[in-house]
Amino acid sequence: MKRFIKSIRVKIEQYLLQNSSRVYLYNCNQEFASHIKPGSLVLDAGAGNAPYQELFANFQYETADKFTSSCNYVCDLVAIPVKDERFDYIVCNQVLEHLPEPKQALKELCRVLKSGGEIICTTPFFYEEHLQPYDFYRYTQFGNSYLFQEAGFKIEKIEWLEGYLGTLAYQLEGAYKSLPINVNSLVKNWLI
């Protein structure tokens, strides 16, 4: 019985320590990748260390990022050095908030996306400041709609990544992690 309780405790701790937003992001990207046609060319815009690359392993996959030298295109997303309508699909995860001119970047992404192509773009609404000093914006569904339409995109859908409970869980997770270590142990023992 003790071993069973310990295994459940370990699983709960692993789940609690995992950022739920990242789990949802991964699932959204997995769903997006499952609809991509074979032989398609995918751009991961603002790829960083390309955490979703494995999801696009069956496609031609290129990356663009200003700060990552291992990318195919080391560039600002307002000036991607490729011809018009090069990419069939674009992935842009949690990037726009780090760009001083997101509208210009979206216009550029629209330029390099083929007519009839698709983009998945995720943006934060409620998230702590990070990657200082390159953290400029937070987005509502109305702000996203405006920016994308102004850039030339036709919007198929806008949806919340996690909704209210996900936001609340994220805040509780942040509060939990900021507690002193001895309080963390006490809370862990109390919760589990």
- How many Å apart are CA 67 and CA 178, to the nearest integer? 29
Shared domain check, 64 and 33: yes
Shared domain check, 177 and 118: no
* pLDDT given at position 3: 61
Domain-embedded: residue 123 = yes
Shared domain check, 129 and 54: yes
Give the total number of structural domains in the chain.
Answer: 2
Shared domain check, 185 and 103: no
Which is it for the CA torsion 41, 155, 98, 106, positive or negative?
positive
Q: Please calculate the CA angle 126-129-135 and round it to the nearest 5 degrees.
A: 105
Shared domain check, 81 and 58: yes
Shared domain check, 86 and 55: yes
Domain-embedded: residue 15 = no
* Half-sphere exposure at residue 125, Cβ-oriented, CA atoms within 13 angstroms: 17
Shared domain check, 167 and 125: no
Which CATH number covers residue 112?
3.40.50.150
Q: Are 46 and 77 in contact (CB under 8 A)?
A: yes
Residue (of 93, 61, 88) closest to 77 by Cα position: 93
Domain-embedded: residue 14 = no
* pLDDT given at position 114: 99
Domain-embedded: residue 83 = yes
Q: Chain-centre distance of CA 54, in angstroms?
A: 15
Domain range enclosing 170 = 163-192
* pLDDT given at position 42: 99
* pLDDT given at position 18: 60
Shared domain check, 167 and 117: no
* pLDDT given at position 40: 98
In tens digits, the chain (192 residues) has pLDDT values of: 556 555 555 555 555 556 667 788 899 999 999 999 999 999 999 999 999 999 999 999 999 999 999 999 999 999 999 999 999 999 999 999 999 999 999 999 999 999 999 999 998 876 766 778 877 778 889 999 999 999 999 999 988 776 667 677 767 777 777 777 655 565 556 555
Shared domain check, 111 and 175: no
Shared domain check, 45 and 102: yes
Q: DSSP character for 73?
A: B
* pLDDT given at position 88: 99
- How many Å apart are CA 83 and CA 88, to the nearest integer? 13
* pLDDT given at position 5: 54
Query: 129 — alpha (psi -120 to 50), left (phi > 0) or beta?
Result: beta
Domain-embedded: residue 1 = no
Type of residue numbered 21: S
- How many Å apart are CA 188 and CA 192, to the nearest integer? 6
Shared domain check, 135 and 72: yes
Shared domain check, 118 and 40: yes
- How many Å apart are CA 144 and CA 165, to the nearest integer? 21
Strands 113-122 and 87-93 come out as: parallel
Q: Residue holding tokens 């869980």?
A: 169
Domain-embedded: residue 124 = yes
Residue (of 152, 48, 42) closest to 103 by Cα position: 152
**pTM, entire model:** 0.79
